[in-house]
Structure 1
Amino acid sequence: MTVLIIKNCAREGPGTLGEILCSNDIGYEIIELEHEEEIPDPTKYEALIVMGGPDSANDTTKTMRQEITRIENAVKADVPYLGICLGMQALLKACGGNVIKSPVKEVGWKDLQGKGFSLELTPTGKKDTIFEGLETTLPIFHLHGETVELTDEMKLLATGKHCRNQVVKVGDNAYGFQGHLELTTEMLDTWLDEDDDLKQLSSEEVKKDYATVRDEYERNSEKVFTNFLRIAGII
């Protein structure tokens, strides 16, 4: 079994998702778009996973056009899909939705009022296998300035206070998460050093917030990603 993973940005890798793939002896191939690597035919893989990055799904670059086309091909072929942040927005763009400026730029663990970002499962989300075994309210780490508009055929599985459309399902097995459940301690350290938006925050406070929810966050991450792999029929 082989999973295709597309990295839009060198620092935004699969994180805990990669760890779960390895622990289940699931092979995967990573395509680095920053190195201008060509994206292979996703229908040759058991699943397609697209990570985040600072670009926009609205960009008209050759790389983004190729990415959108490959995602569209995968969804049409019923290849299980998981998109995170930009990967979620690219999914919506590829399937007829819109990517627009978010009413609030969500960065880190908390909003400007100091309240933690969270996902609230919708009635549809509570019934979906992707959230099996999880609570109806989940903490989430954010790093985005855009959001999405759904088509009538898409399902909204989880909402947020400031940015409503947080988790989206397209068809039977294509999922998009606005937040970063794949986050690890090492990734967070790198992002704090390199991301311009995160540099505006206190790294000490961000790390402290992570420590507070880390155990719960890792459990949620493992359940969501394992559920996706089961939906995909890989485990």
Structure 2
Amino acid sequence: MRINVLQHTPNEGLGMIQDWSQKNGYEMYIYHPYQFGFLPTAAETDMLVILGGPMSPNDDVDWIKQERVLIKELLDQDKPIFGVCYGAQQIVKTLGYQVTKAPAKEVGFAPVYRRDVKFINLPEELNVLHWHEEMFEIPTDAQLLFSSDKVENQGFIMNHRIVGLQFHLEPKADNVREMVVNDFSYLEGSVLNQTKNEILQTKISDNNKQTLYKLLDYINR
């Protein structure tokens, strides 16, 4: 299987998604459209991973619009798509729903709570990394997966093939360090009121990895 990845900033990488891909023996190709302008075709994509970034789907930028053309083709072909933060927002925007300012800017570690999704066994609560101030609408055909104390729409699953998460399950400790040392100024204004040292000292639970793997396995059944 060929997994094509859209990465949108150097400091928000694949983390444990790459570990899952390697564990399963999949081929992975990483694209940087914000820098080089290239995207894969739908024909050469068996699965698409769309990572986070500092941009918004509402930005009037050509490569952002071209990403949605690719997403639409893959949705029509019923191919699995996994979106993280901006990536999840791009899926929602492609489907014709809104991405708006969240009621609270969340930057740091905080819990999310599983909603009433019966067909996949997920933990009731996870302590995850948040790095966002926008949020997505939940599409009509999708089910709400997770909510936080401050932002209800934290994740969705649709047609058993599409998962979008507003938060980050994928980072390992080194990935968190990379995000913090390069983007620590983004902490300003967060309702979580965490310092960069508090974020760096937070231990990542193995539940995050297990949940990530379950979601990726599920949409690739």
Alpha carbons 2:8, 2:53 under 8 Å: kept? yes
Matched residue of 1:79: which SS? Answer: coil
> What do the CA deviations read for 1:24-83 (whole angstroms, capped 9, x no partner)?
221111001232231111343221110000000111101100111111111111010100
Following superposition, the deviation at residue 139 of structure 1 comes to: 1.2
| 2:51 match | 51
1:128 aligns with 2:119: yes
Alpha carbons 1:9, 1:33 under 8 Å: kept? no
CA distance in structure 1 between the aligned counterparts of 2:157 and 2:173, rounded to whole angstroms:
28
| 2:15 match | 15
Q: Output aligned runs, 1:140-219, within 5 Å.
A: 140-195=128-183, 196-198=185-187, 201-208=194-201, 210-211=202-203, 214=204, 216=205, 218-219=206-207
Tell me the TM-score normalised to structure 2 length. Answer: 0.90
CA distance in structure 2 between the aligned counterparts of 1:199 and 1:161, rounded to whole angstroms:
19
Change beyond 3 A, Cα 1:230–1:168:
closer
CA distance in structure 1 between the aligned counterparts of 2:100 and 2:66, rounded to whole angstroms:
20
Alpha carbons 1:5, 1:50 under 8 Å: kept? yes
| 1:118 match | 111
Instruction: Give the CA RMSD over aligned residues.
Output: 1.7
Matched residue of 2:104: which SS? Answer: strand
Alpha carbons 1:89, 1:147 under 8 Å: kept? yes
Q: Which amino acid aligns with 2:119?
A: D
CA distance in structure 2 between the aligned counterparts of 1:32 and 1:26, rounded to whole angstroms:
20
Following superposition, the deviation at residue 97 of structure 1 comes to: 1.2
Alpha carbons 2:85, 2:132 under 8 Å: kept? yes
Tell me the TM-score normalised to structure 1 length. Answer: 0.85
Structure 1 moving runs of 4+ over 3 Å? 198-201
> What do the CA deviations read for 1:112-159 (whole angstroms, capped 9, x no partner)?
xxxxx2221111x2x133xx2x32111111000100122322221211
Alpha carbons 1:20, 1:226 under 8 Å: kept? no
Alpha carbons 1:50, 1:87 under 8 Å: kept? yes
Change beyond 3 A, Cα 1:187–1:198:
farther
Alpha carbons 1:192, 1:199 under 8 Å: kept? no
Stretches of structure 2 lacking an aligned partner (at least 5 in a row): none
Change beyond 3 A, Cα 1:128–1:197:
farther
| 2:36 match | 36
Stretches of structure 1 lacking an aligned partner (at least 5 in a row): 110-116
Following superposition, the deviation at residue 94 of structure 1 comes to: 0.5
Give the percent of matched residue pairs that are identical in Structure 1 and Structure 2.
25
CA distance in structure 1 between the aligned counterparts of 2:30 and 2:67, rounded to whole angstroms:
14
Q: Which amino acid aligns with 1:28?
A: M
Higher helix fraction (1 or 2): 1
1:78 aligns with 2:99: no
Alpha carbons 1:193, 1:199 under 8 Å: kept? no
Alpha carbons 2:53, 2:86 under 8 Å: kept? yes
Matched residue of 1:107: which SS? Answer: strand
Q: Which amino acid aligns with 1:15?
A: G
CA distance in structure 2 between the aligned counterparts of 1:170 and 1:231, rounded to whole angstroms:
9
Q: Which amino acid aligns with 1:95?
A: L
Following superposition, the deviation at residue 170 of structure 1 comes to: 2.7
